[in-house]
Amino acid sequence: MVRIKNRMHEVLEYVKPDDLAGKTFFIFITSLISLNVIAVMLETVETLSINYSNLFWTFEVFSVTIFTIEYLLRLWSCTADSRFDHPLKGRIRFILTPLAIIDLLAILPFYLPMLIPLDLRFVRALRLFRVFRILKIGRYSEAMKLIGNVISGTKEELLTSLFIVSILLVITSTLMYYAEHDAQPEVFSTAFDGIWWSIVTLTTVGYGDIYPITLLGKILGAIMAFLGIGMFALPAGILASGFLEEVQKRRKKEIVCPHCGKIIEM
């Protein structure tokens, strides 16, 4: 039983790139996830949704069945990983991991209406969560894993920069409110309207739905526009630096075999 569990863990996690069973499962599950996202988008076309409702429903049941079996098998075999080796506590830790939560969100909207009597409008809203199945690809995509590692490695710097941006948003939105409220009471009715203006200005989007008309407001807007370039370039620079470090780490772990020429990961 232990050997079966370890083997199942290898296949599900695609541990060995040359493993035929793991590769087959990888191709199948990623294709199914992609088809699910396409189906969700096609269902928004009213004519297709009406004419092929039975086909969409059958495909949904098939997909949920596969995803449920996959989730249960992952929950069963996760103890093969040293991080979750405890039969109970290990599985609880596994359930609370981000990827396991995404797996659960992919199937939960299907079962909730069966278990709990819900308002039909809420049931329709739950169907929107099916689009999150595309996040399951992150489990199998090296690019998504790279992004996850970069964000995890630079989270302190990113949080610091976001905190600075948040402070700037609050200060500028409040100042803009006092600068423009008397001239445009219907536009800058509260400081929260100023937050929307600050976000649009700092990101240099400039929708034009809210803009200053007073001299003080225009001066403040000009300052905000210049600050926005620097403030939003800061997280981008942090992420770029994190990507460079992560790529360098991966290259250092690769060694070319002098006999066969294959790349060996260390």
CATH number of 219's domain: 1.10.287.70
Within-domain flag for 84? yes
Kindly state the tokens that stand for 29: 């599950």
- Three-state secondary structure readout of 184-243: CCCCCCCHHHHHHHHHHHHCCCCCCCCCCCCHHHHHHHHHHHHHHHHHHHHHHHHHHHHH
Rg (CA), the chain: 25
Q: Is 67 exposed, middle or buried (0-12, 13-18, 19+ CB in 10 A)?
A: buried
Per residue in 51-68, pLDDT (tens digit) is 999 999 999 899 989 989
pTM for this one?
0.60
Count up the domains in the chain and report the number: 2
Q: Based on the fold, state whether residues 89 and 186 are members of the same structural domain.
A: no
Tell me which H or E stretch contains 63: helix 53-77
Structure tokens at 53: 């409702």
Tokens of 149: 């590692």
The token duo for 122 is 């809420």
Last residue of a domain, one of 105, 138, 171: 138
pLDDT of 135 > 70? The answer is no
pLDDT in tens, 158-186: 888 888 888 888 888 888 888 998 898 88
Residues 128 and 66 in one domain: yes
In one letter, which amino acid is 221? G
CATH number at residue 81: 1.20.120.350
Q: How far is CA 85 from CA 8, 9, 67, 112, 172, in A?
A: 15, 12, 23, 30, 51
Same domain, 95 and 122: yes
Domain boundary among 138, 172, 199: 138
Q: Please check the confidence at residue 141 and state whether its pLDDT lies above 70.
A: no
* pLDDT tens readout for residues 87-103: 899 999 999 988 888 88
Q: Give me the pLDDT at residue 247, please.
A: 76
Mean pLDDT of the chain: 80
- Per the structure, the complete domain to which residue 84 belongs is given by 2-138
Same domain, 132 and 35: yes
